[in-house]
Amino acid sequence: MHRNKVSKDLLARADFVLGLGCRFEQFETNWRPGYVPAANACYVQVDTDPAEIGKNIIPKIGIVSDIKLLLEDMLQIVREKGGPDYRTTFKGYPVSKDLVRQKRWRG
């Protein structure tokens, strides 16, 4: 409902979704058929409240964490090890693989 054209297109085609502090509820996703990723997409949901994990969409990975701390840890890993290798990291996730391939990673 409040998303732009790019985010609507990417969410509908996504094979991997990282949700930071969201429940993937109807208001957040404007859910209707074709507006959210397929059921076989990999959902990762991060929230400080364990009761929010899996409330609307069951994530493949649920993480209970302070989002700021989690992102700081993730950025540190990228700085130390570099960005993901799109040739091997995203096997089975062609949309994510293509987006990462297009992105220029900087440390």
**Taking 80 as the threshold, does the pLDDT of residue 16 lie above it?**
yes
**Taking 70 as the threshold, does the pLDDT of residue 2 lie above it?**
no
**Taking 60 as the threshold, does the pLDDT of residue 104 lie above it?**
no
Contact 64, 50 (CB under 8 A): yes
**Taking 60 as the threshold, does the pLDDT of residue 20 lie above it?**
yes
Rounded Cα distance, 70 and 57, in Å? 21
Q: Which has more confidence, 66 or 26?
A: 66
Q: What domains are there in the chain, each with its CATH number?
A: 5-102 (3.40.50.1220)
Contact 8, 36 (CB under 8 A): no
DSSP states along 1-47: ----HHHHHHHHH-SEEEEES----HHHHT-STTSS--TTSEEEEEE
Contact 44, 73 (CB under 8 A): no
At 92 the pLDDT is 80
Burial (CB count within 10 angstroms: exposed 0-12, middle 13-18, buried 19+), residue 19 = buried
